Amino acid sequence: MNNFLINIIGPTAIGKTSLSIKVAKHFDAEIISADSRQFFKEMKIGTAVPEEAELNAAPHHFIQHISIHDKYSVGDFERDAILKLEKLFETHNIAVMVGGSGLYIKAVTEGLDEFPAVDPKIRANLNSHLEKDGIDWLQQKLFILDPDYYKVADVQNPHRLIRALEICIATGQPFSEFLDQEKSERNFETINIGLTAERELIYERINRRVDIMMKNGLLEEARKLYPSRDLNALNTVGYKELFAYFDGDTDLETAVSEIKKNTRRFAKRQLTWFRKDEHIKWFDHNADPGEIFRYIESQINI
């Protein structure tokens, strides 16, 4: 094959956007965003959508292309991204994909795992527990039934928890046993570039980013979205904490602190997910871009 997809991956706030633009410009490529939170046009500040100058620096796809009211699954993204890549590869043999959503990246590069059918009553029962007992009940249940998946799951996302639990309950097997099945055929090779830093530095960058988001109007953005708070797209870090503030359940200072804490936890899970992949070439977040370009060129034999 002579088509290459260059993946820029790593934890949130590490500098993936900046590097992806530099790589895209160097290799005359376009960028596929695999950040599932940035898909939604109403969620700009809280998802750290690239600035207009960044979007104009290289062609981007799948950023703010749908509404929070649209149903859009990882399977939909896999289909749309593969179609877009096929189109891009008609004129260029290199494309760039960037994001921290491990499942969405895996969907494009390897295809989604297949799961057995589940009795709808199981999901209904789990949703009933969520409503009655809260997300803590789901988290504890997953920890018991599949501790391996619990370590890497987004345990603040009830949709993901319920999906894993319904498979565990329906099959009597851990959800994680259905992961990492045989890869789908792709018409491109993947080059994985990971950005990393000392954990304390990552956490410091996250805290600083949240402060910038608040300064740039995250509170006002969340207030506009508050009437739609029950939508799945809004059940995410940066918004649900402010919704709790609007509900009077906490004060603003505590809500912002919770955003920082939950984002740090999210970054930790991202690192746990990516560290399992031995095909990622890791670079320090301050690495010379030229060093990264040379590595990529060595992989595609330029």
Give the annotated binding-site residues for substrate: 12-17
As annotated, the binding site includes: 10-17
**Which phi and psi (to 5°) does residue 138 adopt?**
-65, -40
Asked if 75 and 101 count as a contact pair (C-beta separation under 8 A), the reply is no
* Structure tokens belonging to residue 176: 């994680």
Q: Is 204 exposed, middle or buried (0-12, 13-18, 19+ CB in 10 A)?
A: middle
The CA distance from 174 to 150, in Å, is 10
Name residues whose C-beta falls within 8 Å of residue 175's C-beta, 6 or more positions apart in sequence: 145, 146, 149, 163, 164, 165, 167, 168
The CA distance from 54 to 161, in Å, is 34
The CA distance from 203 to 226, in Å, is 27
* Structure tokens belonging to residue 292: 């990264």
Dihedral sign, Cα of residue 291, residue 299, residue 1, residue 285:
negative
As annotated, the binding site for ATP includes: 10-17
